[in-house]
Amino acid sequence: MTETSNSTSWPARAVVTAGMPYGNKALHFGHVGGVFVPADCFARFLRDRIGAENVRFVSGTDCYGSPINEGYRKLVEAGDFTGTISDYVQMNHDRQKATLDAYDVSLDIYEGSGIGHAGEVHQEITDLFVRALYDNGYLHRQETLQFYDAQAQTFLNGRQVQGHCPVQGCKSEKAYADECDLGHQYAPVDLINPISTITGTVPEMRPVHNWYFDLPEFIDYLRRWVASEEADPTVRRVVTDTVREFLAPPIIFVKQEAWDDYLAVKDDLPEHSFRPAGKGKQSFEIEFADIAARDEARSVLARAGIRFRTGKTLVPFRITGNIEWGVAAVDLEGSENLTVWCWPESLWAPISFTIAVNDALGLPRDEWHRWWCDDDAEVYQFIGQDNIYFYGVAQPAIWAAVQPDNERHLPPVGHDLRSTQLVANHHLLFGNKKASSSGSVKPPSADELLNYYTVEQLRAHWLALGLDQKPAGFKPKPFDPDPNVRTDSRVADPVLKEGALLTKVFNRLARSCLYEAKNHFDGCIPLGEVTPSVRDQGIATLSRYDELMHQVELHSIMSLMDEFIRFANKYWSDGIRRAENEEDAGLRRQVLLDSTYLLRIATLLMHPVVPQGCEKICDYLDFDAHEFFSWNYDFESLDELCSAGEIEQGSHPVRPLPPRTDFFAAHPSQFKR
């Protein structure tokens, strides 16, 4: 079944990647439920749809970056950790991997940017990308100011400085050296009220040299790129709307109260356009032709003591940094002992992971081109909305910058890297608030949740929340802040809504078919022609599911499957009741045949959502899992899964199902509520 009736088409090969958690902590529910479970559901579907050998599901720990340095420093100073920073990252990586395994996240690789063979490959790929950007003329060495703690006598990394975000309209009070916790980028000198987290003092600004990618050069390219993304119905609006915010011209916002001060220095500013404050706004705008002019204006305003905020726009994208812990940067023009900033190297890390998987399979090193460059391949990047700037602005521009370009030919990275398809989810909230393990609202860890829910209950619930549409609240009853709610048996647990479909309806359908085969058909499922209306319902559901999965509308998948599984269960209940009332053996046989056909469709389609229970159903139906979980059939009947001998006999033997067997069980703690 390579195409359905709606002509949905799929790539010949696909890479699915799910971002990279920082190696400074365990995973909270947002990591797992907001990104990894949706990515896993989609990767599992693709394996069933186009063949497991044609899918690479890759991710790993982000081993570098200032959050890791800061987390390690604090633990060591508190006497809570005695190993090296590498040991610290490895410890957290092992915890992350164990959690993902516990949630049935079926990654082909989960190593890290500095761990195992993937780490070695990543150093090679990082060298190629940085050299490519330099050789193609898009890297420029700049002297910038970096925060320096005079009391501690040390330069500060990004997370060792905190202040208020300077970007107009952003209310974040958790802003770091050049990036706030909402993903906005700015120059360090613009950070409002900076404080060193080491000593609590106001840090100085001292000059350092680093390499920057000329991102503003790609504004026209990015405008064309986002226009093509907007024309693609599979791309979510949150992606294109967010990208467009950064394609605005360079603007400075000045409070209306500073109007007279502005007039005093107006003629000293570079050429600019003025816009008065709009209705309900407190600031007027001054717009510049480019970043250089805006930065010159910034200096003029600062000398005059005029406070201002900058708007979102394209700024040079930092490639290197001055902290020791990081991927080593290739030596360019004598710039030694620099490391690559964690964000740019994390953008191409999935390529490193793909190569590491292929290496493990004994494939040629250049095999990765078939996955990242060929027209019949696709890369699906699952991310949270906070990271759209990096994957939707910086990455497309970097991909374009390393391409062969007539006069600038670049082997061996110089291949036509395909733009990744960004699957961005809105925030998975804890209750009604954004949760962060470093914020005031402490979310439960992913591991803690498994003390109250089964993996499949949580997977089904998270996928049903509709994060592709809007932020959604995760409200587990055992973690409700109101103790009266936690202990009141009359209050339903929202997390168990989808689980009831599994433990009651889907469970009943599977058990009914298998017990009926055992008790009335000598342990066999009848074969033959499916009732046409039943077959049509199954094929229509397959087609609609395929269309929804192409849009990655996972909440709609859950709604569709709720409707279909309830239909199948009702078909069984009504049909077997009628057959028993009429004592019609032929009808009884047809009802079991039809119901098992519906069970087959339901189990195939729920496999990406709740794999363990579905594979258990397949096991008891005694079909080969590789064949059973495949879309390469017409889905006309069960006969296509059976041998010629079984078709001739008109029956397929199934494994005997012990009494009270559950395919989808409730968590033991739920029996006590």
Of 106-110, 177-181, 579-583, which range is least confident? 177-181
Burial class (CB in 10 A: 0-12, 13-18, 19+), 409: exposed
* Global confidence as pTM: 0.92
- Helix %, strand %, coil % for the chain, to 5? 50, 15, 35
Taking the C-alpha atoms of residue 159 and residue 644, their distance in angstroms, rounded to an integer, is 66
Q: Which residues pair with 652 in a beta bridge?
A: 525
Q: Which residues pair with 139 in a beta bridge?
A: 213
Overall average pLDDT of the 608-618 stretch: 98
Report strand pairing: 421-425 vs 308-310: unpaired
| Sequence-ordered list of residues with C-beta below 8 angstroms from that of 52, at least 6 positions apart, any chain | none
Cα dihedral across residues 559, 562, 565, 567: positive or negative: negative
Overall average pLDDT of the 249-267 stretch: 95
C-beta atoms surrounding 257 within 10 Å: 10
Average pLDDT of the chain to the nearest whole number? 92
Say what the pLDDT of residue 597 is.
Answer: 98
Each residue's pLDDT tens digit, 572-599? 999 999 999 999 999 999 999 999 999 9
Report strand pairing: 161-164 vs 272-275: unpaired
Are residues 92 and 61 in contact, defined by beta-carbon separation less than 8 angstroms?
yes
Cα dihedral across residues 518, 523, 526, 527: positive or negative: positive
Report strand pairing: 251-255 vs 192-196: unpaired
Say what the pLDDT of residue 416 is.
Answer: 80
Say what the pLDDT of residue 94 is.
Answer: 97
Overall average pLDDT of the 340-344 stretch: 94
Taking the C-alpha atoms of residue 298 and residue 313, their distance in angstroms, rounded to an integer, is 15
Overall average pLDDT of the 104-130 stretch: 96
* DSSP string for 176-216: -SSBBTT--B--GGG-EEEEETTTSSPPEEEEEEEEEE-GG
Q: For residue 322, which phi and psi values (nearest 5 degrees)?
A: -115, 15
Report strand pairing: 109-112 vs 421-425: unpaired
Residue-range domains of the chain with CATH: 496-670 (1.10.730.10)
Band the pLDDT of 441: cuts 50, 70, 90.
Answer: low
Each residue's pLDDT tens digit, 305-334? 998 888 889 999 999 988 889 999 999 998
DSSP symbol at 572 = H
Taking the C-alpha atoms of residue 418 and residue 478, their distance in angstroms, rounded to an integer, is 45
